Amino acid sequence: MNRIRKGDQVLVITGKNKGQRGDVLRVAGERVFVSNVNLVKRHTKPNPQANQAGGIVEREASIHLSNVQLFNPATNKGERVGIKTLEDGRKVRVFRSNGEVVDA
């Protein structure tokens, strides 16, 4: 079970984007793409078959999972996440600081 999933709000804890917050767009192995964080300029060729214009495109680059933490709106901080098994056998993510369940 992944501790960070698509759609989660995360906080960047290290690197040039430290302190920035955003939603996870996708998870690719041990790397995540976060909206409006770690933006890079990509020089793209035009592709008429895909109806894509050429030029300089700004888009998100990936960040390693160890450099982000799940954002806890209750404490307004990034926090560590653990996995707990409920009585009915379901696995849920919980914040390590207070044991509050992340998944509804």
Q: What is the percent of the chain where pLDDT is above 70? A: 99
Tell me the C-alpha distance between 13 and 95, whole Å. Answer: 16
Q: What is the pLDDT, as a whole number, of residue 2?
A: 87
- Mean pLDDT, residues 30-57: 95
DSSP letter for 47, please: B
Tell me the C-alpha distance between 12 and 3, whole Å. Answer: 15
Tell me the C-alpha distance between 71 and 12, whole Å. Answer: 9
Q: What is the pLDDT, as a whole number, of residue 104?
A: 53
- Does pLDDT of 100 surpass 80? yes
Q: What's the pLDDT tens digit per position in 2-43?
A: 899 999 999 999 999 999 999 999 999 999 999 999 999 999
Q: pTM for this structure?
A: 0.85
Q: What is the mean pLDDT of the chain?
A: 93
For residue 59, the one-letter residue type is: R
> 9 is written with which tokens?
């709000």
